[in-house]
Amino acid sequence: MKRIGLISDTHGYWDERYLTYFEPCDEIWHAGDIGSMEVLEKLQAFRPFRGVYGNIDGQDIRKLLPKTNRFTVEGADILLKHIGGYPGRWDPSIKSTLYTQTPNLFVCGHSHILKVKYDFTLNMMHMNPGAAGKYGIHAVRTLIRFSINKGVFSDLEVIELNE
């Protein structure tokens, strides 16, 4: 079993509580718009890290992280991309991949809207952890923690980072 800390859209903002809430996690995944090398380096130094660059990330981050990241954890096929949409409204940049090479879990960010929803058409879980940074339209900053065990997702927690 692996415990995952999921974050997105930090936009260069660092909050020490990221480490507090991700303490019980085995890995940290960032769904893009990291915003600064400082944020990336702190997360990478804390736990094994997987991520993608987002539309606001500069060349320094784009040289280190892919646009899409596909990997397997605990028997689950995971696909990570910054701009992805949500069930019923997939972004054109990823839609054909989701329909032809459907992962067990598709994670994206970008919208700043926390969303965890099962796509029954594709038989796939979708997660967007919302935004953990201070830039954007969101009213509440959020993170997600969850577990993966033998391909099954469980113990999902939404963490609100209210001031």
What pLDDT was estimated at residue 138? 83
Residue 163 pLDDT exceeds 80: no
Dist CA 163 CA 160 (whole Å): 9
| Mean pLDDT over the full length of the chain | 97
pLDDT at 117: 97
- Residue pointed to by tokens 């952890």: 129
pLDDT tens digit sequence for 97-128: 999 999 999 999 999 999 999 999 999 999 99
Q: Return the number of other C-beta atoms located less than 10 Å from residue 68's C-beta.
A: 15
Taking 90 as the threshold, does the pLDDT of residue 162 lie above it?
A: no
Give Rg (Cα) of the chain.
Answer: 14
SS3 call for 30: strand
Q: Torsion angle of alpha carbons 23, 61, 30, 2, nearest 10°?
A: -60
Cα–Cα distance, 51 to 30 (Å, whole number): 5
The pLDDT assigned to 46 comes to 98
pLDDT recorded at residue 8: 98
pTM assigned to the model: 0.96
* pLDDT score recorded for residue 155: 98
Helix (H) / strand (E) element for 92: namely helix 92-100
Q: Tell me what pLDDT residue 17 has.
A: 96
List, for residues 42-51, the tens digit of each pLDDT value.
Answer: 999 999 999 9
Lowest-confidence segment of 64-68, 95-99, 135-139 by average pLDDT: 135-139
pLDDT exceeds cutoff 70 at 21: yes
In the block, residue with structure tokens 């992805």: 84
> Residue range 22-44: average pLDDT?
98
